């Protein structure tokens, strides 16, 4: 039987979504990058204007589709389409942005209908450049940010990550899978 | 020549191509297996291994095994791989490795199967490649990066699993040992974390062991892990805490830097050493306030699963063992590590602010996962962990 499932990576421009998907994908990722022409230019020379797409194959009939959403808010109309059939959401935050708490609020609310049914994992990048807010700060601001949301996992994993570090990316996805069902790993 | 050990001897096993997490899973398996005393050698150990287990899913692949065989033809070699080759000259276990296949394979090797110098071939091998039908998850990862650049080879299929979980570990309340997390070195470290004031910890000769700055989340270590581990296990080590000064650390001193969080996490696990904190009860619920930052902490066995389970809803240690089939000592170490960072909620008379919180009334219900989906998730987990 053919099975297709999705894992969605989201977050602001330049956070490392494309790199994270590259770390998992069995194919060279299809990335619709273009020369940045707006405020994005300040953060990176190229940016994803449609989406990133990679594939993780389990076998010939089963693929996991890895989607990276475009970072800019003006593409948020695509997010509902992308999330249909998704296993879960990986939200990557950039600690060097001016207001990462606002980003956290924005993305959790943008995906509020999705994360009622699927778990979310939050990865905070660039903590080596900007240490604040710390992971504990994100965890303590979360109850206020999600007060009006219904989340499947209201205590989500919040990890420091580097999208270039494969182990970090793997741990985010493994945490996502265990958040769906902690019982799946009961073999050696 | 590698001797055949008797049942009472320690049987030394060397691992190659595995990260600390994978080695921890093997150590746990060896501890659970009581018929033989297997012991995984550390990097610096000089004992001759009876068997070398090699993970061949790294970039060097089978070449590592071939090289070892060329250098030491008498060495017994057992391979692990997500996609075992049918014509492997060495016996190979399909990953994720399960106890049901690991120990018979080791036993067979030790009893002369795939005799030294006569590697198992396509025919005539006494130990053939072992591919269990069940392939769900491995908790561990390999440290060898695999290429993600253009046109990597398609992955080998992950065979369909059937649900055969680990047996539920036996938890006998009368056998549970306890420790006091407020005593000893861990107690001093927790005091510094709570007070948020810098300090140094010195031994009875006034030699500095640790310098700590909780505001900056920094710890400077002036001793090695073995010494720290031995101090962690002493309930009354002769240690003192005092305020730091500029002359504490001589310029030539050999130091290591960690985050205080990492140090506390590791010390919590070392101090527990398979024991349950006195502050927790085996049948009383505990709950995670937040997930530990597991990408920047030592990955303890089953830590991701335990965090997912205990963040979802409160559960007693006894229930956690029953539901997740985790070894009690792994759970107790995880709980001690999490508690050392102040991440656990549990009901105590002394600390009413730390009480278990009721589940939010508007929280979505966690639906039971259908068997087919569990099977799929298990395969995906195995695939990710093998990357």
pLDDT on residue A165: 93
Which range is least confidently modeled, B59-68, B229-238, B339-348?
B59-68
Q: Do B148 and A22 touch (CB under 8 A)?
A: yes
Strands A30-35 and A46-59: antiparallel
| Positions of E strands within chain B | 10-16, 37-40, 51-55, 76-81, 92-94, 178-179, 199-203, 208-213, 218-221, 239-242, 256-259, 276-277, 286-288, 344-346
Residue B155's pLDDT is what? 46
- Contact yes or no for A2/A36 (Cβ under 8 A): no
SS3 B382: helix
Res. A150: pLDDT tops 80:
yes
Strand pairing of B276-277 and B37-40? Answer: unpaired
Higher per-residue confidence, B175 vs B153: B175
Looking at the structure, tell me whether residues B39 and B113 fall in a common domain.
yes
pLDDT score recorded for residue B128: 35
What pLDDT does residue B375 have? 83
Concatenated DSSP letters for A163-182?
TT-HHHHHHHHHHHHHHH-G
Mean pLDDT confidence for B19-46: 79
The mean pLDDT value for B147-157 works out to 40
User: What is the mean predicted confidence (pLDDT) over A151-178?
Assistant: 95
pLDDT above 70: percentage of residues in chain A: 80
Residues B348 and B372 in one domain: no
How many CB atoms neighbour CB B17 within 10 A?
Answer: 21
Q: Which residues does B68 contact at the CB level (< 8 Å), separation at least 6?
A: B16, B52, B54, B75, B77
The predicted-structure confidence for A7-56, as pLDDT tens digits, reads as follows 999 998 888 899 999 999 999 888 765 555 444 445 555 555 557 889 99
Q: Which of B151, B154, B369 sits opposite A57 (nearest CB)?
A: B154
Q: Do B295 and A171 count as a contact with CB atoms less than 8 A apart?
A: yes
User: Which of B97, B149, B381 has its CB closest to that of A184?
Assistant: B381
**Burial label, B52 (beta-carbon count in 10 A; 0-12, 13-18, 19+):** buried
The mean per-residue pLDDT over the stretch B67-84 comes to: 86
Interface test with B, best of A4, A178, A179 (most B CBs within 10 A): A178
Parallel, antiparallel, or unpaired for β A3-10 and A62-68? parallel
B155 and B12 part of one domain: yes
Tokens of B187: 């107690």
Return the minimum-mean-pLDDT range out of B93-107, B124-138, B142-156: B124-138
Top-confidence residue, B128 or B173: B173
Q: Is residue B169 part of a domain?
A: no
| Secondary structure E strands in B89-191 | 92-94, 178-179
| Interface A-B: count of C-beta contacts within 8 A | 176
Instruction: Decide if pLDDT at B2 tops 60.
Output: no
* Domain hosting residue B300, numbered range: 279-354
Query: Can you point out the beta strands (E) in B164-278?
Result: 178-179, 199-203, 208-213, 218-221, 239-242, 256-259, 276-277
Please check whether residues B19 and B79 belong to one and the same domain. yes
Q: Where a domain ends, among B222, B246, B269?
A: B269
Task: Point out the domain boundary residue: B269, B296, B311.
Answer: B269
A12 vs B143: which has the higher pLDDT: A12
Q: Which of B138, B48, B49, B63 is nearest to B93 (CA)?
A: B138
CB A6 within 8 A of CB A82: yes
Q: Please check whether residues B107 and B48 belong to one and the same domain.
A: yes
Is residue B177 in some structural domain? no
For residue A74, the tally of other CB atoms under 10 A from its CB is 8
Q: Do B151 and B2 fall within a single domain?
A: yes
**Domain for residue B172, yes or no?**
no
Average pLDDT, chain B: 80
* Predicted confidence band of residue B8 (pLDDT cuts 50, 70, 90): low
In a domain, B25, yes or no: yes
- Is B55 a residue whose pLDDT tops 70? yes
In the prediction, which pLDDT does B142 show?
27
Please indicate, yes or no, if residue B174 is contained in any of the structural domains.
no
Residues of A in contact with B309 (CB under 8 A): 178, 182
- B138 vs A5: CB contact, 8 Å cut-off? no
B window 166-225, beta carbon within 8 A of A = 166, 217
- pLDDT, residue A187, reads 53
Mean pLDDT (whole number) for A66-80: 70
Distance from C-alpha of A127 to C-alpha of A16, rounded to nearest angstrom = 13
Which of residues A168 and A85 earns the better pLDDT score?
A168
B154 shares its domain with B80: yes
Considering CB atoms only, which of B102, B305, B387 is closest to A24? Answer: B387
CA distances from B295 to A161, B37, B360 (A): 7, 32, 28
Domain total of chain B: 3
Do the chains contact at B164 and A187, CB–CB below 8 Å?
yes
* Position B274 in a domain: no
Model confidence at B36, in pLDDT bands (50, 70, 90)? Answer: confident
Helix H or strand E segment including B184: helix B184-195
d(CA A133, CA B247): 32
For the segment B82-107, the average pLDDT, to the nearest whole number, is 79
CB contacts of B103 in chain A (<8 Å) are none
Tell me which residues of chain B, numbers 66 to 95, contact chain A at a CB-CB cutoff of 8 Å.
none
Sheet holding A86-94, edge to edge: A30-35, A46-59, A62-68, A3-10, A86-94, A120-125, A158-160
At A1 the pLDDT is 44
Q: What value of ipTM does the predicted structure carry?
A: 0.88
Query: Which pTM does this prediction carry?
Result: 0.70
Q: Has residue B178 been placed in a domain?
A: no
Is the pLDDT confidence value at B40 over 50? yes
The reply to whether B232 and B112 lie within a common domain is no
Distance CA B175, CA B334 (A): 19
Q: Give dist(CA A51, CA A59) in Å, integer.
A: 24
Q: Identify which of B151, B158, B323 has the shortest CB distance to residue A28.
A: B151
What is residue A77's predicted lDDT score, i.e. its pLDDT?
A: 63
Tokens of B317: 């240690």
Tell me what pLDDT residue B115 has.
38
Based on the domain organization, do B303 and B380 belong to the same domain? no
Residue B309 touches partner A, C-beta closer than 8 Å: yes
DSSP category for residue A183: G
Do both B21 and B150 map to the same domain?
yes
Picking from B248, B269, B290, the residue at the C-terminal end of a domain is: B269
Domains of chain A: 3-183 (3.40.50.300)
Please check whether residues B55 and B137 belong to one and the same domain. yes
Distance CA B130, CA B102 (A): 9
- Whether B296 and B329 map to the same domain: the answer is yes
Mean pLDDT of B218-225: 93
B69 is a domain residue: yes
Per the CB < 8 Å rule, is B308 touching A25?
no
């Amino acid at each position: 039987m053919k099975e297709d499932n999705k894992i969605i990576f989201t977050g602001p421009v330049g956070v490392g979504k494309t790199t994270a998907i590259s770390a998992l994908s069995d194919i060279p990722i299809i990335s619709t990058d273009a020369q940045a022409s707006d405020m994005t230019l300040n953060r990176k020379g190229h940016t994803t204007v449609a989406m990133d797409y990679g594939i993780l194959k389990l076998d010939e009939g089963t693929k996991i589709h890895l989607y990276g959403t475009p970072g800019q808010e003006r593409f948020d109309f695509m997010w509902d389409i992308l999330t249909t059939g998704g296993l879960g959401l990986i939200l990557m935050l950039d600690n060097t942005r001016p207001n990462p708490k606002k980003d956290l609020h924005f993305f959790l609310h943008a995906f509020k209908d999705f994360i009622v049914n699927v778990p979310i994992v939050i990865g905070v990048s660039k903590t080596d450049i900007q240490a604040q807010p710390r992971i504990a700060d994100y965890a303590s601001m979360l109850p206020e940010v999600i007060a009006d949301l219904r989340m499947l996992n209201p205590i989500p994993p919040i990890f420091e990550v580097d999208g270039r570090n494969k182990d970090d990316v793997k741990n985010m996805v493994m945490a996502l899978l265990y958040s769906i069902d902690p019982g799946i790993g009961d073999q050696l | 020549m590698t001797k055949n050990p008797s049942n009472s001897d320690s049987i030394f096993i060397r691992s190659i191509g595995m990260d600390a997490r994978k080695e921890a899973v093997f150590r746990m398996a060896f501890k659970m297996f009581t018929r033989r005393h297997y012991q995984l050698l550390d990097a610096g150990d000089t004992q001759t291994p009876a068997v070398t287990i090699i993970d061949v899913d790294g970039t060097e692949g089978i070449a590592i095994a071939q090289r070892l065989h060329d250098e030491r033809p008498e060495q017994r070699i057992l391979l692990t791989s997500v996609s075992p080759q049918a014509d492997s000259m060495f016996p190979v276990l399909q990953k994720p490795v399960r106890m049901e296949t690991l120990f018979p394979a080791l036993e067979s090797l030790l009893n002369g199967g795939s005799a030294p110098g006569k590697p198992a071939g396509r025919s005539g091998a006494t130990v053939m490649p072992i591919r269990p039908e069940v392939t769900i998850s491995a908790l561990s990862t390999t440290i060898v990066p695999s290429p993600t650049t253009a046109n990597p080879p398609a992955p080998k299929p992950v065979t369909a699993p059937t649900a055969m979980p680990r047996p539920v570990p036996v938890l006998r309340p009368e056998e549970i040992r306890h420790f006091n997390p407020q005593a000893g070195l861990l107690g001093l470290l927790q005091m510094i974390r709570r007070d948020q004031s810098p300090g140094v910890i010195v031994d009875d000769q006034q030699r500095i062991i640790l310098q700590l700055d909780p505001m900056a989340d920094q710890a400077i270590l002036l001793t090695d892990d073995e010494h720290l581990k031995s101090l962690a296990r002493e309930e009354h080590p002769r240690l003192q805490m005092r305020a730091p000064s500029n002359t504490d650390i001589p310029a030539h001193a050999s130091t290591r830097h960690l985050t205080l969080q990492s140090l506390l996490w590791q010390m919590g696990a070392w101090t527990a050493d398979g024991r349950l904190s006195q502050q927790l009860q085996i049948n009383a619920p505990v709950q995670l306030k937040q997930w530990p930052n597991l990408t920047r902490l030592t990955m303890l066995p089953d830590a991701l699963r335990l965090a997912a389970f205990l963040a979802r809803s409160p559960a007693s240690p006894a229930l956690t063992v029953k539901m997740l089939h985790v070894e009690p000592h792994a759970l107790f170490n995880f709980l001690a590590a999490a508690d050392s960072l102040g991440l656990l909620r549990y009901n105590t008379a002394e600390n009413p602010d730390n009480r278990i919180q009721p589940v939010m009334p508007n929280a979505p219900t966690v639906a039971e996962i259908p068997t087919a989906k569990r099977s799929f998730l298990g395969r995906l987990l195995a695939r990710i962990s093998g990357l």
